[in-house]
Amino acid sequence: MSTSEMYFVGVILSVLEFQSISGELSSGVAAFFQYSQCSVFQAPPVTEGVYTVRTKTGCARICSEDPTCVAYSVSRHLCRTHEELFQTGECYSGGWKHYNIHKRCQKKGYTGVGTRKCKCYGGYIGGDCERLMIDCSEGFTSSHYDGETGLFYIHPVLSPEPFQVWCRMAYGGNTYIQRHERNATSFYRSWQEYKDGFGDPRYDFWLGNDKISHIVNGRDHLLYFNYDDVFTLKFRQQIYTEFKLNRNNDYQMTFVLTWGHRDPSHHGGDCLSELKGQPFSTFDRDNDASPLNCAQEHKSGFWFKSCTPCNPNGVWSETPDQKRAGVPEEMFWTPAYGDNLMLSCAIFLTAM
């Protein structure tokens, strides 16, 4: 058996055992897998970066700190870094061991062999998945999430800690603050519950006034009301610009402009202009301008005045003729639907 053949057998035997080098992602050391597909041996090229190291871990660190490095080779104290992954079936003669990058991304992100870029998950973004998005719009523009819908973590700039939201990574990135699509939960809740949030984001929920304020007060957002009614099944939409909540004044609600869907047949009708400037109200924190306790009257929490032309957090109900029963606690939106029963409502934010 020739020297090269003996060396080839030695390499094959050595790679039968899985080997990896890893370090703490926070320290910048990537994780690598030993390359095990050698078929032809060649002399090492002289154009690659060459370093002297004590151990192969030192070589891994050098590669991790170089954004162009995706693989490295070590032979005793010599280290070579590479801008291309080992895919050609070629290895170096002379006792070299080769390591392709397996994962240089943080927070369980993964580097694809073809793209050599991190694919992030769960709300993380950045070149190395190093931080959480501030809202779903930033996740949409990051290119890590393409049309995905579900629960993600965000960390708005004004929030002391991250929290989960329901995102739709489309149409500019939508951060949902409410969904009322079935009789899955009651919206007749206390001030503290509306402050903290409640429900199941997959079905019926309110994100929480604290969380909403952290999102909208950190940068400008559009507020969308999407809803349809039982009678016509027609989808409607109303949009409000630069929506803000004043945490120091019982979540007083303001916005700048409003308009409906670009298709007049799907125009939502303006409900909030009559309520603009009002603080939030619940049955145990009556902040409306009416002698009535509007939250108690409508069995919900919302921005009430005298009391309201809409009640998206009202009671989900059914009637034989699919019309409102005429009781104040029903879920309704009179500017567009009049006495038609609302079938569902979703409220979400998109960064401007």
- Cα-based distances in Å from 293 to 135, 185, 328: 34, 22, 12
For residue 60, being part of any structural domain is answered with yes
Check whether residue 66 and residue 210 sit in a common domain: no
Q: What is the residue whose two structure tokens read 């800690």?
A: 161
Check whether residue 235 and residue 314 sit in a common domain: yes
For residue 130, being part of any structural domain is answered with no
DSSP structure string for 129-194: S-EE-SSHHHHHHTTS-SS-EEEEEE--TT-SS-EEEEEE-STT-EEEEEEE-STTS-----HHHH
State residue 9's pLDDT score.
Answer: 32
Check whether residue 57 and residue 181 sit in a common domain: no
Check whether residue 194 and residue 323 sit in a common domain: yes
Check whether residue 325 and residue 191 sit in a common domain: yes
Cβ burial 33-63 (10 Å sphere, 16+ → b, else e):
bbbbebeeeeebeeeeeeeebeebeebbbbb
For residue 210, being part of any structural domain is answered with yes
**Domain final residue pick, 104, 129, 164:** 104
One pLDDT digit (tens) per residue for the chain, 352 residues: 444 443 333 333 233 222 333 333 333 455 566 665 565 566 666 656 789 998 888 888 888 788 778 788 888 888 988 877 765 566 777 778 888 776 667 888 877 655 667 889 999 999 889 999 999 999 999 999 989 999 999 999 999 999 999 999 999 999 999 999 888 899 999 999 999 999 999 889 999 999 999 999 999 999 999 998 877 788 899 999 999 999 999 999 999 999 999 998 899 999 999 999 999 999 999 999 999 999 999 999 999 999 999 999 999 888 888 888 888 999 998 887 778 888 899 999 999 9
CATH code for position 179: 3.90.215.10
**Domain final residue pick, 74, 104, 134:** 104
> Which of 166, 171, 163, 279 is closest to 222 using CA atoms?
171
Check whether residue 68 and residue 177 sit in a common domain: no
Reported pTM: 0.76
Domain residues for the domain of 30 are 3-104
For residue 117, being part of any structural domain is answered with no
State residue 11's pLDDT score.
Answer: 33
State residue 15's pLDDT score.
Answer: 31
Token readout for 179 is 């969904």
Token readout for 2 is 């020739």
For residue 148, being part of any structural domain is answered with no
For residue 149, being part of any structural domain is answered with no
Question: How many CB atoms sit inside 10 A of residue 133's CB?
Answer: 30
Dihedral, CA of residue 286, residue 197, residue 352 and residue 118, to nearest 10: 170
Q: Give the pLDDT confidence of 32-72 residue by residue, as tens digits.
A: 666 655 655 666 666 567 899 988 888 888 887 887 787 88
State residue 8's pLDDT score.
Answer: 34
State residue 300's pLDDT score.
Answer: 97
Q: Give the whole-angstrom CA distance, residue 148 versus residue 171.
A: 11
Q: Give the whole-angstrom CA distance, residue 324 versus residue 346.
A: 19
Check whether residue 43 and residue 179 sit in a common domain: no
Check whether residue 230 and residue 333 sit in a common domain: yes
Count: domains in the chain: 2
Check whether residue 214 and residue 311 sit in a common domain: yes
For residue 127, being part of any structural domain is answered with no
CATH code for position 13: 3.50.4
Check whether residue 184 and residue 65 sit in a common domain: no
- Residue 334 contacts by C-beta under 8 Å, 6 or more apart in sequence? 269, 271, 309, 310
For residue 133, being part of any structural domain is answered with no
**Domain final residue pick, 75, 104, 133:** 104
Check whether residue 200 and residue 279 sit in a common domain: yes
- Residue 263 contacts by C-beta under 8 Å, 6 or more apart in sequence? none
